[in-house]
């Protein structure tokens, strides 16, 4: 299970990665890897990174204070950013995706061989995309639209929605906020039509839980039970 991400540790690790300085490296400047180009990696501080369609990046793509965009059919290793969003187009392949203070938007038919994680950012994963390991965040909604997550899905403060037959092979976990988080908002969890949670929905706090009549869930544990959920028919609650 993915637990709460340590923000300072993530920043320290990412800055350390930048010190390796691959061929595409800069400070106060954006980086563009052209369509079809091959590269050993890219890193920048105070700049954006764009990876063109069909490009192959053997190393990591990392940014501090800048967004990362990966265009259709490109292949990268780890893509990581602090204070910036991460946008991944159709048919991209990556080892992992992570952000601190930024959203992660994954389009269709994307393959992530590892995990997808965010701190203070929304995560969306489109139809036909597969994440091999865990997916999670602390603050921000999670939307899985016809995608498959091979591990657990976890959040602390975000809403979670599974739609169009999305599948979680592990557990769906809503963690209890720590003392640092005073937000009392109640998360909303929706398991839509045809969607599945192969494990259990593990709730360390109360949520608003909606489960479609055509969805499959391995059970509800923790602060609530299946009897506390609202069952619904139709496309969305």
Closest CA to 158 of 175, 171, 145, 146: 175
pLDDT confidence of residue 38: 95
Which pLDDT band holds residue 16 (cuts at 50, 70, 90)?
A: low
Question: Residue 184 above 80 pLDDT?
Answer: no
Dump pLDDT digits (tens) for 23-69.
577 888 999 999 999 999 999 999 999 999 999 999 999 999 999 99
Closest CA to 173 of 199, 139, 211: 199
Dump pLDDT digits (tens) for 136-156.
999 999 999 999 999 999 999
pLDDT confidence of residue 117: 97
Which pLDDT band holds residue 178 (cuts at 50, 70, 90)?
A: confident
Q: Hey, is 13 helix, strand or coil? A: helix
List CB contacts of 18: < 8 A, sequence separation 6 or more: 25, 43, 44, 45, 62, 64
The pTM of this model reads: 0.88
CB 33 within 8 A of CB 24: yes
Q: How far apart are the first and last CA of the chain?
A: 28
DSSP state of 164: T
Dump pLDDT digits (tens) for 77-101.
999 999 999 999 999 999 999 999 9
pLDDT confidence of residue 207: 96
């Amino acid at each position: 299970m993915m637990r709460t991400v340590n923000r300072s540790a993530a920043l320290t690790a990412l800055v350390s990665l930048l010190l390796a300085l691959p061929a595409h490296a800069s400070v106060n400047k954006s980086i563009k890897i052209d369509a079809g180009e091959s590269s050993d990696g890219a890193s920048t501080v105070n700049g954006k990174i764009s990876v063109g369609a069909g490009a192959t990046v053997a190393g990591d793509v990392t940014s501090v204070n800048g967004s990362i965009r990966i265009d259709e059919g490109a292949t990268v290793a780890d893509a990581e950013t602090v204070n910036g969003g991460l946008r991944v187009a159709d048919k991209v392949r990556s080892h992992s995706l992570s952000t601190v203070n930024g959203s992660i938007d994954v389009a269709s038919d994307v393959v992530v061989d590892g995990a997808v994680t965010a701190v203070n950012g929304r995560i969306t994963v489109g139809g036909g995309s597969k994440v091999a390991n865990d997916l999670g965040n602390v603050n921000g909604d999670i939307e899985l639209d016809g995608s498959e997550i091979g591990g657990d899905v976890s959040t602390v403060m975000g809403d979670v929605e599974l739609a169009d037959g999305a599948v979680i092979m592990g557990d769906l976990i809503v963690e209890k906020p720590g003392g640092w988080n005073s937000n009392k908002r109640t998360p909303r969890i929706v398991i839509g039509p045809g969607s599945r949670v192969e494990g259990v929905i593990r709730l360390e706090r109360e949520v608003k839980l909606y489960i479609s009549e055509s969805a499959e869930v391995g059970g509800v544990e923790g602060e609530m039970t299946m009897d506390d959920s609202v069952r619904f028919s139709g496309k969305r609650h």
